Amino acid sequence: MPHDPDPPPAKKFKPGSVLFSLNQKKPGMLLPRKGNVSTPIDVQRKQLPIYQAKPQLLNQLRQLNNAILIGETGSGKTTQIPQYLYEAGIGRQGIIAITQPRRVAAISLAGRVAEEKRTQLGKLVGYTVRFEDVTSFETKIKFMTDGMLLREAIGDPLLLRYTIVVLDEAHERTVHTDVLFGVVKTAQRRRKELNKIPLKVLVMSATMDVDLFSEYFNKSPVLYLEGRQHPIQIYYTKQPQSDYLQAALVTIFQIHQEAPQSQDILVFMTGQEEIEALARTCRDIAKHLPDNCGPMVVIPLYASLPPVQQLRVFQPAPKGSRKVILSTNIAETSVTISGIKYVVDTGMVKAKRFSPESGLEVLAVQRVSKAQAWQRAGRAGREDSGSCYRLYTEDEFDNLIPMTVPEIQRCNLAGVMLQLMALGIPDVMNFDFMSKPSPEAVCSAVEHLELLGAVEKKDGQVVLTAVGKKMASFPLEPRYAKTILLSPEFSCSEEVISIVSLLSVDTVLYNPPARRDEVLAARKKFTSSEGDHMTLLHIYRAFKKVSGNKDWCRENFVNSRNMSLVKEVQAQLKEICLKLNLKLVSCGADTGSVRRCLAHGMFVNAAELQPDGTYLALDTHQPVAIHPSSVLFQAKPAYVVFNELLHTSRCYMRDLCLVDADWLLDAAPEYFGRKLHLSKS
Ligand code: CDP
Ligand code: MG
């Protein structure tokens, strides 16, 4: 966290080491978009593929209570449908909600639609994401994260404020969208039974595989948006590639040397560190190319990038130079970039994986699904014909799973279970999931919640405890909510709330790779031998001392916007604490009590140093290692708790806090006594 791990050494560029074979197989539904930045916004709206279909669409949507709408990314579904409905007076009695899996998408889409409607954001058009509500009593078109709508359902299970709910990006199958399917279906049925205003539910997807959606909503009709389509040539490597980063590098420069300038390249990779490292290597190599190769502008794109930098991908490269965008899967469907002629697909993605036996959720680099591979290819054919270079063989492609496994079947369900129980759903085990999670995963989640004291078993039924009810009031993962609930006992609620707030926003630290030494020097003053949580707390205290001074932020490589957000999050968490009658107290300099509190809230994520210098997770005895970005990387303390696991070459713990074995034993004597041989120090 406080500083980047060592970058991988720059690799030598060996031209021609990846050979491709051409395959002309075309995916079924890749369509481009017309219009560019200089066209007036009204004209742009009319150039979208969806505009042609507007009358028929409205005709259908007026009558139907459930519908599925399919259309390629960029056809105008998300920005236009809410406006069409509103303008046609459909659902006027209430609010039209449009859910998004990603916070950035909800915010930027609301901004775009407000602009198209020529109104101030927060009036007719607004957005609600966790810890940020930009809506007013005037708001009729409301973009929100799927997680937020789910939270609102806890207070209002019938969603009475809304007349239309659009579940967008449904193909992503995030765990929140999946649970919402069940919640809106129930709300729809109950509203009918109670003679309330009907609820319309529209599911929107960028991929064709929607049978499951249609089936789930009582065989609801599927509306297809026709698109204009340009052919895309698909290339596969002749041999499997052992190093996809090297293969990507070679491919980028192969294209760069051969293709006409002004045709841009989009490369799909897995995450920030890898993207930044490859960006550096590309820039270095580009400096030393022969003169007949034009300049190259390399732009990274990932969710935690500051918004201003995210916008850079939309700006055209200077005349005569080529834009190379290195992106995570965020550019698959959430973000649309024009001018892309070449797609390079590593075939890899970083995603959650969950093992019910261990109860641990891990972020791991893994192969994409076929559906994802087609989405990626599609980004190349939007304005004209294009090419997609797959850095894997055709055989490897054939062996990919057809669809991405829904997140609900590969994540820790504890948070969702807690929310469902708070929603008053009597039998969570038998909830009407579109894709059922495995019984093992459900049991594991119940066990996790039991350990945290959130649920108990009564007469064979799992019920929410008083603690569990309180935990559900926080828009946080159960263990963070529990840590906050415990904090008054340790007289450190102020500190714990600050830490949880810091962990709840995108990274507050800014790590420009080119200025690594300066970053390290600046961070040194704040580094705590007690771990990353304490280091963050030090930075936050210093930030508050200078009242968020912009120069201070710049000098210390602190993201001032995200830091300001931390203050808002903190205020909201405090409000919840006050409602729950929790005492807000500070431990001042006694930061040991903060660590004690973290040990009590996060004991499930603990690890122990072994005689050979490695770590084992206490729960599962799985080998884990300290991530090089942690301030504890060198220190190697005997016991730590950690926030998350990241699986790359090894299984890394990220964001660690130094704890005592005694504290862990105190926190859960029975659990550690039963499962482990924790040695008392
Ligand atoms: O939802 P779908 O992918 O079908 O398309 P959309 O998000 O409604 O986007 C339609 C068009 O609106 C895009 O191709 C962009 O030209 C434009 N747009 C934009 O300029 N800024 C945004 N934040 C979102 C969309
Ligand atoms: Mg969309």
Buried/exposed 109-122: b ≥16 CB within 10 Å, e otherwise? bbebbbebbeeebb
The dihedral through the CA atoms of 489, 494, 495, 500 has a sign that is positive
pLDDT of residue 660: 94
Q: What is the mean pLDDT of the chain?
A: 87
**What pLDDT digit, counting tens, does each position of 325-357 carry?**
999 988 887 777 888 999 999 999 998 887 666
Lowest mean pLDDT among 36-45, 227-236, 513-522, 575-584: 36-45
Lowest mean pLDDT among 360-369, 388-397, 462-471, 535-544: 360-369
Helix (H/G/I), strand (E/B), else coil: 636: coil
Q: Are 184 and 176 in contact (CB under 8 A)?
A: no
DSSP letter assigned to residue 132? E
Reduced 3-state DSSP string for 474-541: CCCCHHHHHHHHHHHHHCCHHHHHHHHHHHHCCCCECCCHHHHHHHHHHHHCCCCCCEHHHHHHHHHH
Nearest to 1 by CA among 615, 582, 534: 534
What are the residues whose beta carbons fall under 8 Å from the beta carbon of 673, sequence distance 6 or more? Answer: 665
Domain closes at, from 552, 584, 616? 584
Q: Is the pLDDT of residue 678 over 80?
A: no
499 and 457 share one domain: no
Q: Is 78 in the pocket of ligand 1 (CB under 6 A)?
A: yes
- Mean pLDDT across 120-130: 95
Give the CATH number, domain containing residue 435. Answer: 1.10.10.10
Q: Is 375 in the pocket of ligand 1 (CB under 6 A)?
A: no
273 and 172 share one domain: no
Question: Alpha-carbon distance 461 to 454, whole Å?
Answer: 14
pLDDT of residue 291: 80
Question: In which residue are the tokens 């066209």 written?
Answer: 39
Q: Is 48 in the pocket of ligand 1 (CB under 6 A)?
A: yes
Q: Are 178 and 104 in contact (CB under 8 A)?
A: no
Domain closes at, from 446, 472, 498? 472
Residue 411 identity: C
69 and 161 share one domain: yes
Q: Is the pLDDT of residue 33 over 80?
A: no
**Ramachandran area for residue 201 (φ above 0: left; ψ -120 to 50: alpha; else beta):** beta
Domain closes at, from 378, 404, 430? 404
460 and 478 share one domain: no
**What pLDDT digit, counting tens, does each position of 104-114 carry?**
789 889 999 99
Residue 424 identity: G
pLDDT of residue 430: 81
pLDDT of residue 674: 63
**What pLDDT digit, counting tens, does each position of 476-504 carry?**
999 999 999 999 999 999 999 999 999 98
- Ligand 1 midpoint to CA 45 (Å): 9
Helix (H/G/I), strand (E/B), else coil: 587: coil
Domain that holds residue 334: 10-30+229-404
Q: Give the chain's radius of gyration (CA, Å).
A: 25
Residue nearest atom 8 in ligand 1 by C-alpha distance: 76
Q: Decide if the complex's ipTM is over 0.90.
A: yes
Question: Where in 260-312 does DSSP place strands (E)?
Answer: 264-268, 296-301
The residues placing their C-beta within 5 Å of ligand 2, an ion, are 77-78
What ligand 1 atom has the least distance to the C-alpha of 204? 1
24 and 48 share one domain: no
Q: Is the pLDDT of residue 17 over 90?
A: no
Give the CATH number, domain containing residue 372. Answer: 3.40.50.300
Helix (H/G/I), strand (E/B), else coil: 456: strand
Q: Is the pLDDT of residue 30 over 80?
A: no
**What pLDDT digit, counting tens, does each position of 286-327 carry?**
988 888 888 999 999 987 776 677 778 888 888 889 999 999
Q: In this structure, what token pair is assigned to residue 317?
A: 């490269």
Domain count of the fold of the chain:
5
Q: Is 468 in the pocket of ligand 1 (CB under 6 A)?
A: no
369 and 446 share one domain: no
- Ligand 2 midpoint to CA 85 (Å): 16
pLDDT of residue 675: 55
Q: Are 248 and 344 in contact (CB under 8 A)?
A: yes
Question: Alpha-carbon distance 644 to 629, whole Å?
Answer: 13
**What pLDDT digit, counting tens, does each position of 546-577 carry?**
998 999 999 999 988 888 889 988 999 999 99
Strands 623-626 and 651-658: parallel
Q: Is 73 in the pocket of ligand 1 (CB under 6 A)?
A: yes
Give the number of the ligand closest to the Cα of residue 41.
1
214 and 83 share one domain: yes
pLDDT of residue 23: 53
